Amino acid sequence: MAVIGTPRVFQKKFSFIVEIEGFTSAAFTKMSAIEAEIAKVEQWQGGTLISDKSPGRVTTSDVTLERGVSSRNFDMWNWWLDVVRMSAGVGDGGSGLGLVDPFYKRQVELIQLDRSGAELRSWTLEGAWPTKMVVGDWDNEADENVIEMLTLTFDTFDPRGI
């Protein structure tokens, strides 16, 4: 019996590493999908029944990272606080205009691992900065850890095969 095609090996989604520029530890348990979309521009010419379609603006969706709260790691909070101070004009030369200085934008690497733990491929988020920070959901009767979430916006992303 002949084998048709090459068998596919699907990768597991639990095998990933997140690296954030300037973080001492970026051990996250969950990350939302990286999404990009190209708008469709339709132009109808007079008298035609079929529209002319062309690509429009490219938009990316925000990414949310989740991890258990650690009493020793404040990297996410410090990054968030840097952006808050900069946009509010508090502290070291913030503009007060709600603008994010390029100094606070960071590169984020998402590295997918294969079953042996070797790098399979990776994605780079360029110009990332936090837009939302959630710490907690405390419950006196729960056995779970407190989870902190950081939502990032970014300029572009670049997939790269290893």
Within-domain flag for 10: no
Residue 64 in tokens: 């949310």
Within-domain flag for 4: no
Give the CATH number of the domain where residue 113 resides. 2.30.110
Nearest to 27 by CA among 72, 80, 61: 72
> At 109, which helix (H) or strand (E)?
strand 106-113
pLDDT in tens, 70-94: 767 788 888 888 888 777 665 555 5
Within-domain flag for 47: no
Sign of CA dihedral 54, 123, 152, 139: positive
Q: Give residue 128's domain range.
A: 16-33+62-161
Within-domain flag for 76: yes
What average pLDDT values come out for the chain (162 residues) when binned by 10 residues? 68 78 81 92 89 93 88 82 75 55 84 84 92 86 85 90 52
Within-domain flag for 117: yes
Total domains, the chain? 1
Per-residue CA distances from 87 to 54, 100, 102, 150 (Å) = 36, 6, 12, 17
